[in-house]
């Protein structure tokens, strides 16, 4: 096979807009098998999302192709003059790519308002802003390692994380190419050779980092641009060396089919979402490389005969728009039908609607915009086009966010009305339930996930990765009594109630909590079975803080309740309480509250209160396991607040017009505050204060 240079117009993204290619490859011409490969990849992405609720590895193919084609485009720009025209390069890309994204984002906002539960509004708005600014991968990375966000359902713009990575890649790659051109000029070397060294360095560095971060924090690594950069870089390396490779036709035929089979089987054989993007991602990336090495053989038995067929060519031309549309259509379908995975006919309908929207997007938007900007190629026009489509997205999200913030403020003020919003008080004062009106639930379902203890906003609740025992202090320094709430997030949700109690009594209150980290001496495990070393370190820092602060009482969880393991205690609880006893600190062990079967706000957005009620037995033992512990020191008193959250062995989503849980495990701050007088009684009985 004679060398083939890369003169096709760049594929700047995941599946992308393409101009009409010539029917056969030629020197410096279009590679038609790439269009078919893009079609296969987007089909895999859509099929696995729709019917299997998992990922396929198809996105990794798009990242490789982007690196492959963008490198060729930048080399052609840099080689003649030894420089990169940044403004022209970036503006040409984004004026072609962003209009379809903007239309999809605006459509998602409309669909969210019409069909998605109110509980998902704020999260969708926040991610829409991130997607519009090409930062969605970082928004998702933050949520992936945030314990409180882990249970949040996927937003209809989640799939744009890969487009965000590509936007970041365009910025980084152009700068690196400019550096290569600069050094090539100074060293009087060919730009391609200097670029090869630089690209190989990036590949090795990024892959090494990817393997490390995937092993230590896969949830973050999946959306980490640095952990994915090697996939782009590998495409860039291939772009430089491929024109010089000459492989026998029979070998190319075999490589083409091997690559296709490897690509199609990847998602079926690997759990991509929990294993990528470390070295395992070499599977789909390597499969795509085999297809590119095979090229267009012209052999009637070659895989390229399939890849260059008219159906795949047509689908490849639609692949960018199809990728953009399939996910929001699927999310809306699942929300409306209350399903987690599409049925056969429902999935076919999702695919059909997505294809129709893709055709309309290409016909009515992409082609007209490209035609309009073709003769208006200045940077100024490019900025104008992007601003024209970006501005409505940012304006709509800003106005909607402002509205939700205002509603949240008004709702918080209204919730202070005990007559209308008694919350837990109604369980001991039934007369508070006697009012003629039925006020809306507080907090508003659209803002429920933001109804957290203010310790999160102040940054003194440690996240999964943090190890510092950060202390929030509240109350007078000369207080007669002091109390510290310590432990995991399900200890932290008592803070709003404790703050009310502390204010009423003039006590000093400390908050020292960390996500998913029990106040124990046992070795903690994360959900994937790996040692949670950050928790171990945080515990030691916490003990140093408690030794210095010497609060009168530590309030912490005495059990841990989960649906899969039931309610249990740990030997390390008792050992930790003994350590506090030696410091002269008393302990109030609060029984862990039951978890519920459905997220409070999410469930109540679409179902009745009765349908959202869970039995206590879903995660609780018949009796408090802490009462059966042996060797408990005398400084420990156990209390059980379960009857005030789940009365009569059932956990309703709303008590006294107040939403109890915002998710499936954590109290809303509003409901926690209504527990204050009840918690105060328990503390006074335990301490004799």
Q: How confident is the model at residue 24 (pLDDT cuts 50, 70, 90)?
A: very low
Q: Which of 448, 492, 498 is nearest to 654 (CA)?
A: 448
Residue 429 and residue 282 share a domain: no
Residue 393 and residue 420 share a domain: no
With a CB cutoff of 8 Å and minimum separation 6, the contacts of 681 are: none
**Interval 316-327: pLDDT, tens:** 999 999 999 999
- Quick check: 162 pLDDT over 90? yes
How many domains does the chain divide into? 2
Question: Quick check: is 6 in a domain?
Answer: no
**Interval 258-272: pLDDT, tens:** 999 999 999 888 888
The bridge status of strand 654-655 relative to strand 553-557 is unpaired
592, 559 in Cβ contact below 8 A?
Answer: yes
CA distance 503 to 500: 5
Dihedral, 603, 606, 610, 612 alpha carbons, nearest 10: -10
Mean of pLDDT values over 367-380: 79
Query: Is 516 strand, coil or helix?
Result: coil
Q: Which of 235, 224, 165, 168 is nearest to 195 (CA)?
A: 235
Query: Is 689 strand, coil or helix?
Result: coil
Question: Quick check: is 321 in a domain?
Answer: yes
Residue 419 and residue 390 share a domain: no
Question: Quick check: is 14 in a domain?
Answer: no
Residue 522 and residue 466 share a domain: yes
> What pLDDT, on a 0 to 100 scale, did the predictor assign at position 80?
79
Evaluate the omega torsion of the peptide bond into residue 443 and state whether it is cis, within 30 degrees of 0. yes
Residue 342 and residue 428 share a domain: no
Residue 444 and residue 382 share a domain: no
Mean of pLDDT values over 494-509: 96
What does the block give as tokens for 84? 């990169």
Mean of pLDDT values over 148-167: 85
Residue 113 and residue 40 share a domain: yes
Residue 671 and residue 635 share a domain: yes
**Interval 379-420: pLDDT, tens:** 788 888 889 999 999 999 999 999 999 988 888 787 788 888
Task: Write phi, then psi, for 114 (nearest 5 degrees).
Answer: -80, -40
Residue 369 and residue 440 share a domain: no
Helical H runs in 12-135?
32-47, 58-81, 86-115, 121-132
With a CB cutoff of 8 Å and minimum separation 6, the contacts of 558 are: 569, 573, 589, 590, 591, 592, 624, 626, 636, 638
Dihedral, 657, 659, 445, 336 alpha carbons, nearest 10: -100
CA angle 44/48/52 to nearest 5° reads 160
**Interval 537-588: pLDDT, tens:** 999 999 999 999 999 999 999 999 999 999 999 889 999 999 999 999 999 9
Residue 343 and residue 420 share a domain: no
Mean of pLDDT values over 594-606: 91
Residue 321 and residue 459 share a domain: no
Mean of pLDDT values over 204-211: 97
- Kindly report the pTM of this predicted structure: 0.86
CA distance 270 to 268: 6
CA distance 488 to 515: 5
Q: Which of 340, 368, 398 is the endpoint of a domain? A: 398
Q: Which of 173, 194, 201 is nearest to 82 (CA)?
A: 194
> What pLDDT, on a 0 to 100 scale, did the predictor assign at position 148?
58
Question: Quick check: is 22 in a domain?
Answer: no
What's 458's domain CATH number?
3.40.50
Mean of pLDDT values over 491-519: 95
CA distance 668 to 424: 12
Question: Quick check: is 27 in a domain?
Answer: no
Structural domain boundaries, residue 465: 415-687
CA-to-CA dists, residue 502 to 480, 481, 639, 673, angstroms: 11, 9, 18, 12
CA distance 585 to 101: 58
Question: Quick check: is 541 in a domain?
Answer: yes
Q: Which of 338, 373, 398 is the endpoint of a domain? A: 398
Task: Write phi, then psi, for 589 (nearest 5 degrees).
Answer: -90, 115
Residue 505 and residue 375 share a domain: no
Question: Quick check: is 579 in a domain?
Answer: yes
253, 302 in Cβ contact below 8 A?
Answer: yes
Q: Which of 398, 430, 462 is the endpoint of a domain? A: 398
> What pLDDT, on a 0 to 100 scale, did the predictor assign at position 26?
38
Question: Quick check: is 122 in a domain?
Answer: yes
């Amino acid at each position: 096979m004679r060398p083939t240079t890369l003169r096709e117009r760049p594929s700047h993204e995941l599946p992308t807009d393409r101009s009409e290619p010539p029917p056969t490859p030629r020197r410096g011409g279009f590679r038609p098998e790439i269009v078919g490969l893009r079609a296969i990849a987007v089909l895999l992405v859509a099929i696995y999302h729709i019917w299997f609720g998992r990922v396929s590895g198809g996105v990794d193919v798009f990242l490789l192709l982007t690196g492959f084609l963008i490198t060729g485009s930048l080399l052609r720009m840099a080689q003649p003059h030894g420089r990169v025209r940044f403004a022209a390069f970036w503006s040409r890309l984004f004026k072609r790519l962003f209009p379809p994204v903007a239309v999809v984002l605006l459509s998602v906002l409309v669909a969210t308002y019409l069909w998605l539960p109110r509980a998902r509004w704020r999260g969708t708005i926040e991610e829409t802003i991130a997607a519009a600014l090409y930062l969605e991968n970082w928004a998702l990375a933050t949520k992936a390692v945030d314990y409180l966000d882990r249970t949040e359902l996927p937003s209809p713009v989640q799939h744009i994380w890969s487009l965000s990575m590509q936007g970041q890649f365009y910025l980084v790659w152009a700068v690196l190419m400019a550096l290569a051109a600069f050094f090539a000029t100074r060293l009087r070397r060919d730009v391609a050779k200097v670029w090869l060294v630089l690209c190989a360095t990036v590949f090795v560095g990024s892959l090494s980092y990817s393997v490390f971060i995937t092993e230590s924090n896969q949830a973050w690594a999946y959306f980490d641009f640095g952990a994915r950069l090697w996939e782009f870089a590998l495409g860039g390396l291939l772009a430089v060396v491929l024109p010089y490779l000459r492989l026998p036709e029979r070998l190319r035929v075999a490589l083409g089919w091997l690559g296709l089979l490897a690509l199609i089987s990847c998602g079926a054989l690997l759990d991509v979402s929990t294993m990528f993007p470390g070295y395992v991602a070499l599977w789909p990336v390597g499969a795509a490389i085999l297809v590119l090495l095979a090229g267009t053989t012209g052999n009637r038995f070659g895989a390229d005969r399939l890849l260059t067929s008219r159906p795949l060519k047509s689908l490849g031309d639609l692949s960018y728009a199809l990728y953009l549309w399939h996910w929001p259509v699927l999310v809306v379908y699942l929300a409306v039908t209350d399903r987690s995975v599409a049925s056969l006919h429902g999935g076919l309908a999702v695919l059909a609607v997505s294809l129709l929207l893709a055709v309309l997007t290409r016909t009515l938007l992409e082609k007209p915009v490209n035609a309009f900007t073709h003769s208006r190629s200045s940077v100024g026009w490019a900025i104008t086009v992007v601003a024209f489509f970006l501005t409505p997205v940012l304006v709509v999200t800003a106005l909607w966010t402002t509205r939700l913030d205002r509603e949240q403020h008004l709702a918080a003020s209204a919730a202070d009305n005990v007559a209308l919003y008694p919350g837990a008080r109604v369980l001991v004062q039934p007369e508070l339930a006697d009012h003629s009106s039925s006020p809306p639930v507080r907090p508003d379902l659209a803002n429920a996930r933001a109804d957290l203890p203010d310790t999160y906003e102040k940054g003194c609740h440690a996240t999964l990765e943090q190890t510092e025992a950060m202390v929030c202090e509240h109350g007078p320094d000369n207080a007669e009594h002091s109390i510290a709430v310590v432990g995991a997030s399900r200890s932290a949700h008592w803070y709003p109630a404790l703050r009310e109690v502390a204010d009423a009594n003039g006590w000093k209150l400390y908050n020292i909590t960390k996500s998913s980290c029990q106040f124990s001496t046992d070795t903690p495990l994360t959900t994937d079975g790996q040692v949670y070393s950050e928790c171990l370190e945080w515990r030691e820092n916490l003990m140093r803080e408690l030794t210095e602060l010497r609060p009168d009482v530590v309030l912490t969880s005495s059990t841990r309740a989960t649906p899969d393991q039931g309610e249990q205690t740990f030997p390390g609880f008792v050992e930790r309480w003994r350590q506090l006893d030696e410091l002269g600190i008393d302990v109030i062990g609060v029984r862990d509250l039951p978890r519920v079967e459905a997220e409070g706000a999410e469930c109540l957005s679409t179902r009745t209160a009765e349908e959202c009620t869970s039995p206590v037995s879903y995660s609780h033992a018949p009796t408090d396991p802490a009462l059966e512990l042996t060797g408990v020191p005398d400084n420990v008193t156990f209390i059980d607040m379960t009857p005030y959250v789940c009365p009569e062995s059932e956990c309703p989503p709303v008590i006294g017009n107040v939403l109890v849980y915002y998710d499936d495990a954590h109290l809303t701050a509003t409901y926690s505050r209504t527990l204050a007088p009840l918690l105060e009684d328990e503390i006074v009985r335990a301490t004799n204060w």
